[in-house]
Amino acid sequence: MRVLWINPVGTTVFDADTARILSTVKRAETTFTVVSLPSNRPLHLEYHAYEAQVVADIVRITYAAASSYDAIVIGCFYDVGLREAREVSGKAFVLAPCQSATAIACNLGNSFSILVGRKKWIPKMRENVMLYGHEHRLASMRSVDLGVHDFQADEKKTCQRLLREGRKAVEEDGAEVLILGCTAEYGFYQKMQDVLGVPVIDAILAPFKMAEFMVELGKRIGWHPSRWGGSEPPPDSDIKDWQIFEPLPIDPKILFDK
């Protein structure tokens, strides 16, 4: 199976680490491609105004890649562009971290807490949790006061903050599972599990493994994305006549010459 991972930011700083992490957990038959956006795009999506700048990019890439990949993952815990990308993905599955992580958490415990970088992020992420139907399972959302590009700058400090807030989430808020609420919060889940004694869901691993699972369901059972009702895609005639999904924000060779 082929999986495309989109880092929806205008920097390649996370690409190598993302690829390294995916390589350690992928199935033997899985291949993947990691891409990011041009350098004139926002370097992070901590503000909704920045999100708005990249949704069209995500849709264009998804539409172009849908026939070449079995699944596409949007690498931002805001799940930015998820609904929009799913409209144009054909039979390819489109996954994102928050929806995937919360679905997994619900199978690991009765309640979960999400550890986010900044308080700014909480309203949007809480709305997504409610949208996905998990509000009754959300024990808390706790901030560690770090921005997207801070998590990997001082790993010791980041780990200490995550452990501190994670312990509070478990002991004070009643969380049975912890979710790391940013794809840049990688490299900490194993130590946190060992110290805190509860499952800790990594925001890179969750959507990628969910992608592999969904592709297997499609291949073995024939379950593919619905194209009925609210899942109806745009007419092919509109896409052809209006050419609104062109040009691609990245070199097509990156997607297809693998």
Is 90 exceeded by the pLDDT of residue 256?
A: no
Domain 2-96+206-256: assigned CATH number: 3.40.50.12500
Span 213-229, pLDDT tens digits: 999 999 999 999 999 99
- Res. 258: pLDDT tops 80: no
Asked whether the predicted pLDDT for residue 46 surpasses 90, the reply is yes
Say yes or no to pLDDT of 71 above 60: yes
- The domain limits of the chain are 2-96+206-256, 98-202
Give percent above pLDDT 90 in the chain: 96
Between the alpha carbon of residue 48 and those of residues 23, 52, 78, 154, 221, the distances in Å are 31, 6, 9, 26, 38
Q: Which residue has the tokens 């708005």?
A: 52
Confidence of residue 65 (pLDDT cuts 50, 70, 90): very high
Instruction: Report the pLDDT value the prediction gives residue 255, as an integer from 0 to 100.
Output: 85
Query: Residue 30: what pLDDT?
Result: 98
Tokens linked to 77 = 């815990």
pTM, 2 dp: 0.96
Q: Do domains 2-96+206-256 and 98-202 have the same CATH topology?
A: yes
pLDDT of residue 216: 98
The helix/strand/coil state of 63 is helix
Amino acid occupying residue 31: T
pLDDT of residue 169 exceeding 70: yes
pLDDT at res. 253: 86
Of 81-85, 109-113, 161-165, 246-250, where does mean pLDDT reach its minimum?
246-250
Helices 155-171 + 189-196 axis angle, to 10? 40
Residue 210 has a CB neighbour count (10 Å cut-off) of 21
**Rg value, the chain, Cα:** 18
The answer to whether residue 257 scores a pLDDT higher than 80 is no
d(CA 206, CA 218): 18
Pair of tokens at residue 100: 């995937």
Architecture of the domain delimited by 98-202:
3-Layer(aba) Sandwich (3.40)
